Each structure stands twice: as C-alpha cells, then as structure tokens.
C-alpha cells in the first residue's frame, strides 16, 4: 500500500519563503506592544494615587512616578494617560487584563511578583523599614520586640512577603493586611495608636517624616530592594522593556533621575517659610525694596497691600528671581502655564509677577461659591491658589459628608488633610492631594498678614493715652483671631 503524503509538508514546501517571511513579520508587528503604543499615540500607565507616585497639584499632574512616566512618553513620542487605582492587587489584575501597558507605582521587585510580572530596569533602591511611634510605644529595635505588637501592612505588598519570610524563624510574629489602605493611611493609624508598628519603604518614610516627628525606625529588614516598572509577562512586552532600558540609561547619565529623586524625597520646599523670626528680619531688609510695587498693584486690584505682601512672602520671601525645584518662578511663584494664562511675559519681572498673582487670586476669589462669606471667602481662594479649585471642592464635599459646614474655613480645613487618605480621596472627583499643605499655607499667610498689620499700626498710629495703649494689643489680638 502506498503511504499517504504529508499534506502539511507539501504545503510548506509549496509556499514561497518570501510569503512565510511576510506572515511572520506581520505576526511580530501585531505582537509588539511598543509598536502598538506608538501607532495608538498614547501609553496607559497604572499608578497609585499617593504622594510618592501620582497626584494633582494646582490642577497639574505631579508626583515622582508621573514625572518618570511623562519623560518616557515623551521619549517614545506619545501622549501619557495615567490610571490611578487603590490597592496593589488592582494593579496586577488590570495589567493581566490588558487594561494598561505598564505600572509605575513604586513597586519593589520580589520573587513572588516575578512569577506574574516582568520588570523594567530598576531606577532606585530602597530599604524596608519597621517604624513605630515613640510617643505611644516603647523602643523597638529587634524582630523579637515586634512579637505581640499590632503590626499593619498593605495587602499584596512586598512588606507582607517580608513578614511571611520572617515568620519562618519567628512563628509568633503576627500582622494584619489591609486591601484598601495606602502608606499614608498606615502612618495615620500609627500616629493615632491604632497600630503599634508598620513597614514602609525608605523613600516613602523620608517623604513623609516631616509630618510625623514622633516616628522612629525600629530596624531595617533585609538588603536594599530595587524599584521598577511592571508589565504583564508576555513576549510582546520585550521591545517595551528594552526601550525602558534606553530611557533610564539616558536620564541616569544626564542627571535627570537624580534631580527627580532629590526633588520628591527631600523635605517640603515650603518648610523654610515658617519662621516668624526670619519674617521679621525680611520685613526690615527686603520689604522696603518691594513695598511700593506691592502697594501699587494692591490699589490696581482693590486688595489690602498687606494681604498681597503676605502672599508674596509666603511664595518667594520677596525675591523677584526666586525659583523652586518644581519650576515655579518669580515674586508670586507662577507656573509657566499659569503665567501664559494670565498674560505674564516675564515671570522674573516683579511688577508682572505681582500683577499676575493678584489677577489669579481675584479670579479664584470670584469662583468661590456665593454662599461663602468673608473672611472665609479669602481663605478659600488662598487654599485654591495653593491646591487648586478641584481639590478644594472635594474637601468641601467631604466636610458636608462629615457633618461640617462647607462654607466655613474652620470646618473645611479639618477635612482637607483627608485628601491624603485612600479611604477618603478614592470617593472624590480629583483624588489624592497634599491636603495638609493648603492648611499650613493659609495659616502662614494669615500669620504674616497679622504681623504686617500689627507692624503697620504700631509704626504709623498716633500714640494713644496710656490706658488705650494698654488695651491695644488685646484688641489687635482679637481682630487677628477673627481671621
């Protein structure tokens, strides 16, 4: 009997090699995620809505991971779409479902994660720190001292993996994992005494430590671990991963990566503006040089010059050439985008800057809801100047939900810091924000305004009879407190 021919072999022999090459070339292109991204013109990036990753600042995207991702999007010539989610499991799930191209979320590379994901090049190494509140808890300096303590960590985190590994040698070590908390929520729980200890990455600890002076490091566990972007484990992602290597090599060599790390993981740039002593010195040596300009602009925009002076001091210490690490410049520290919107051609021209800042404040003031009366209306506008109208409105909504009056600054300022907590900001329209910063911002300006007012009254008033003189400071204090 004659054997049947192998039809597949015949077909393969019959097909010209050029046709085969074209077919495989088509398959390769369709399975190349980098090429697909370029053709679509947009790259979708999952992230965490938090201080060290991604958030909105005065209506502008900000955050360390955002800046890195934006740089990469520019590098490959596409637009960037950031997709914030709450919880680490959502990141891995959405990557596996194809809802994004990669995740930029401060993710550490671990053995367990390698089973599900492929990682880009590491851009930073961090330590995993056990921390405690020295005000509420006795000193902790060993794993043994953690046994019996209430330890809280994020679910699906590298910290949970670390604790599981430690438990092999310390069976009595216990902890609680939470799916809906971010690092800041755990820090708040530690501050409030709801937990005795937690584990945080060193970059997040140093970014937040200024807000928690009582927190101390108990110990650093294990060797430093790398942070990297994560992708679904798929051969189609290999060209994307290779392009990430090119990008990170470039920003390491040109110093951009080091500048971003310094910018986002050092103390708040506004902390140096808090000293009353420094303010009083600046009143003597700098204010006389700019007071005339401030008074002129204040007249033009129907503002109290002392109020405008207080804002400009908070922004720049009355330095016309001031520049912050975030790129805002001039007497009123305007962003380039805001300056263009306001018609300011030269941000370093003090008169232009003052006029631009005054216009911006008045514009915000006009957009505050009509139900808000003075002086609260002014404080609301100041908060919006710092954080943006969107986040301010989110805080007003939270204030009403929590039983406060959204038209009163004293109630809203209690709720603004909630925008740092996942359980609150995930319910809002604009998401995470450093809500404590506008609180301090407004507080500082009110304080400076009071000092300027007091100084003005004492410099130019006609000395009253002694009995009135004895009464004057108390009266002034009451008027200051009214603000």
State phi, psi for 55 to the nearest 5 degrees. Answer: -165, 170
**Active-site residue (options: 243, 315, 352, 393):** 315
State phi, psi for 222 to the nearest 5 degrees. Answer: 75, -175
Q: Which residue intervals of 62-131 are DSSP H helices?
A: 64-76, 88-96, 111-114
340 catalytic residue (yes or no) = no
Asked if residue 140 lies in contact with residue 214, where contact means CB atoms within 8 angstroms, the answer is no
- Rounded distance between C-alpha atoms, residue 274 and residue 276, angstroms: 6
Name the DSSP class of 5. P
Residue 244 burial by CB count (10 A; 0-12/13-18/19+): exposed, middle or buried?
buried
- Rounded distance between C-alpha atoms, residue 450 and residue 454, angstroms: 6
> Which candidate, 190, 194, 195, 247, places its Cα nearest to that of 214?
190
Bridge-based pairing of strands 117-119 and 102-108 is: unpaired
- Rounded distance between C-alpha atoms, residue 57 and residue 183, angstroms: 19
Whether a cis peptide bond, with omega within 30° of 0, leads into 354 is no
Bridge-based pairing of strands 55-57 and 60-62 is: antiparallel
- Rounded distance between C-alpha atoms, residue 221 and residue 199, angstroms: 9
> Which candidate, 368, 332, 370, 374, places its Cα nearest to that of 353?
332
Long-range contacts of 418-422 (CB under 8 A, 24+ apart): 419/391, 419/394, 419/395, 420/51, 420/184, 421/182, 421/184, 421/185, 421/188, 422/49, 422/50, 422/86, 422/180, 422/181, 422/182, 422/184, 422/185
Query: Which residues does the annotation mark as catalytic?
Result: 315
């Amino acid at each position: 009997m004659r054997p049947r021919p192998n039809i597949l072999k015949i077909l393969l022999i019959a097909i010209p090699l050029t046709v085969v090459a074209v077919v495989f070339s088509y398959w390769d292109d369709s399975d190349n995620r980098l090429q697909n991204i370029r053709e679509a013109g947009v790259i979708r990036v999952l992230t965490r809505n938090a201080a060290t990753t991604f958030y909105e600042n005065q209506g502008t995207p900000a955050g360390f991971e955002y800046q890195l991702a934006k740089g990469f999007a520019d590098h490959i010539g596409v637009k960037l779409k950031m997709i914030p989610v709450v919880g680490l499991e959502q990141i891995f799930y959405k990557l596996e479902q194809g809802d994004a191209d990669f995740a930029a979320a401060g993710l550490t590379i671990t053995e367990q994660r390698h089973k599900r994901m492929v990682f880009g090049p590491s851009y930073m190494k961090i330590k995993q720190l056990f921390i405690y509140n020295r005000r509420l808890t006795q000193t902790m300096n060993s794993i043994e001292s953690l046994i019996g303590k209430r330890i809280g960590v994020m679910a699906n985190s590298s910290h949970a993996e670390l604790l599981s590994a430690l438990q092999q040698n310390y069976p009595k070590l216990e902890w609680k994992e939470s799916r809906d908390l971010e690092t800041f929520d755990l820090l708040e729980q530690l501050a409030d005494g709801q937990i005795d200890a937690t584990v945080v990455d060193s970059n997040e600890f140093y970014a937040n430590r200024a807000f928690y002076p009582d927190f101390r490091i108990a110990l650093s566990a294990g060797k430093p671990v790398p942070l990297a972007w994560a992708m679904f484990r798929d051969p189609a992602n290999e060209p994307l991963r290779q392009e990430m290597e090119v990008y990170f090599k470039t920003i390491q060599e040109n110093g951009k990566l080091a500048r971003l790390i310094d910018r986002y993981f050092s103390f708040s740039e506004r902390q140096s503006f808090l000293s009353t002593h420094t303010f009083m010195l600046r009143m003597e040596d700098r204010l006389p040089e700019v007071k005339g300009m401030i008074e002129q602009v204040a007249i033009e925009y129907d503002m109290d010059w002392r109020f405008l002076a207080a804002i400009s001091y908070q922004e720049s210490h009355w330095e016309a050439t001031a520049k912050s690490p975030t790129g805002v410049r001039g007497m009123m520290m305007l962003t380039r985008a805001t300056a263009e919107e306001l018609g300011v051609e030269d941000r370093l021209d003090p008169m232009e800057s003052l006029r631009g800042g005054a216009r911006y404040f008045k514009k915000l003031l006009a957009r505050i809801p009509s139900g808000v009366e003075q002086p609260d209306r002014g404080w609301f506008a100041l908060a919006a100047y710092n954080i943006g109208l969107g986040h301010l409105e989110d805080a007003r909504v939270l204030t009403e939900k929590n039983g406060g009056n959204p038209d009163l600054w004293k109630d809203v300022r209690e709720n603004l810091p909630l925008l740092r907590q996942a359980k609150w900001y995930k319910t809002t329209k604009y998401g995470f924000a450093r809500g404590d910063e506008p609180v301090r911002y407004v507080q500082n300006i009110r304080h400076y305004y009071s000092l300027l007012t007091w100084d003005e009254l004492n410099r130019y008033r006609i000395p009253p009879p002694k009995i009135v003189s004895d009464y004057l400071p108390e009266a002034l204090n009451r008027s200051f407190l009214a603000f």
